[in-house]
Amino acid sequence: MTLTLVPPSPVLPAPVRPDPLGVLGVPGEINLDHAASAPCARAAADAVAGLLPWYASVHRGAGALSRRCTLAYEQARQTVCDFLGARPDDHVIFTRNTTDALNLLARALPAGTTVITFGGEHHANLLPWPRGSVRLPVPDSPAGAVRSLAAALGELARDARPGLPVLVAVTGAGNVTGEVWPIAELARVAHRHGARILVDAAQLAPHAPVDLAALDVDYVALSGHKLYAPFGAGVLAGRADWLDAAPPYLAGGGATSHVGAATHEVRWTTGPARHEAGTPNLLGAVALAAVCAALGEADRQALHVREQALLTRLRRGLATLPDVVELRMFGPDAPRVGIVSFVVAGRDSADVAAHLASRHRIGVRDGLFCAHPLTRRLLAEAAARTGRTDLPPTALRASLGLGTTEPQVDALLTALSHLP
């Protein structure tokens, strides 16, 4: 009998799974404008692609597709809830973006609420609040911000309007300088005086954990398009009582528990649905949740260390260029996320940005960054600090994040050092 030997089957390598936090992009283009809109993460793209065949109405149908989409939407809400460390009785409401979320809360404020903001806010956290809001000066340090808030709240307590609600609305990380605000300390001061606190986390959440319970803040707002998800999805999360007591942000289907024969015979529901009338942005919610889940599983400390190394490389490189002046609010050593704003003396910022884009395929932002009062103040401070009279009236901003590399940072520095 002849024995036939069968060769062993080759051991195939395990398939390489794409990094869920890898970002999509166009080869050859250097995107250093994450603070405006971050590139889409693979996790978001895959989540959308997986759900598209099932795409159907949410909360409106009995079919298998509708049930699948309703489940995906509510699971996305729970994922975002977990990502933000929301408390059991908090609401997580899907909005269009941070601006939409802050306008929603502004509409839900109890009558007579005083809102306290700082002059260093993005327009989204300056413009929605009612008349009579208190705007504190831009502080020169994190400790100065805490002292200023404590003094303002103490003065309000002595005012002739005792017992009326107070909301402190403050950014987590500035969109102009990237400097991180002392949120936990501000929250302690606010609560000591019986006030609530809202955090605009649009710039902080992509770079650092934001935990409602750990920070002891009452509300947080963020945007999906700055968190590596597509446009059109944002979140307001926080205390339920003001939100359940307020009229719906939008009147329409889904926000009601009963509508009678006459249109004024309406009972509004409670919970997140009260402020989510109409067919929701299912794909935006699912994409945002997918990124939240991927970030939740990632080593955030390792991501932070990597980003800080890139940020240091960029700032040190800019400091070597004789005509470049960095904008800052708190000081050169204040903690910050991957955002740097600067000017090139004697150069129009829009012209520099156009040159970088057309000649070097580098995308940065120019202008006043939807924070006009703050950016103008920082430009004046930069001129006073350096004694230069040739600084332009607008600035440039380079912002880093997932996918940014050392060669990309170096390409920007080289291009700036060889401006024609």
Residue at 116: amino acid letter:
I
In which residue are the tokens 């933000």 written?
A: 84
172: nearest Cα among 136, 138, 198: 198
Give yes or no: 370 in active site.
yes
Token pair of 301, please?
């400390």
Length of the chain: 420
| 31, β-bridge pairs | 363
Check 40, 69, 292, 370 and give the catalytic one.
370
336: nearest Cα among 398, 289, 417: 398
**Cα 296 from Cα 92, distance rounded (Å):** 17
Annotated active-site positions, please?
370
